[in-house]
Structure 1
Amino acid sequence: AFFVIRFHNEIPSHPAVNDINDLIECDLMDTGNVFLSFACDKNYEFSSLRRAKFSTMGLLYELHTSTTEKFIYSCNTCRQQCDIRYHCTICEDFDLCEKCYNMKPKHEHNMERPIS
């Protein structure tokens, strides 16, 4: 018995995926460190399939039931709590309150206001 392998040079073309759902920004998924610390705090493990399934369901439940009030952001300049914040698109964890965002000198990278 022989196995025959045939290579095709053609790349299959798949239709473009049109996702009808809006993108939702979630700071929990911004960086690996934030996700890892959240998973450690909740004792979520992904070392086996069973634990990964359980942890995934727990994580999805947390994301579904969480509110924006659960996360408290502080300004990196004045250290005050941010009700309206601007997040750096380059730095891993850099937020400014509205007052510090409007002051000079400006932060060296682009800042965006996340939708909450």
Structure 2
Amino acid sequence: MFDEICPSEVVPFRIGDKWAGMIIRCLEHGPRRFSELRIPLRTITAKVLTQSLRTLERDGLILRHVHTTPVQRVEYDLTPLGRSILEPLAAMCAWTEDHWDELLDAREA
């Protein structure tokens, strides 16, 4: 899913926007800072990542934590609502993997 050769736009399921599902998967194992999210999501621009994070926060799927001591830093984490989408998202990823060739053939046709 995070590999450059994986054309994630082929995946027919989107939660919010093109990047939302990938961001949710990145937060699956705990909070991450903005710069930490940019590593697996290396092809996303900072502007689009910011927009996607704001949308996910607005929709109640992630929380933005601002830590002010000793230096200000921001972390993003899944809410219980966001965690509840992990299982359906895993099922969608498994389905896509099972039907990858068919999806690519359909796109090329």
TM-score by length of 1: 0.26
Structure whose alpha-carbon radius of gyration is higher: 1
TM-score by length of 2: 0.27
Structure with bigger helix share is 2
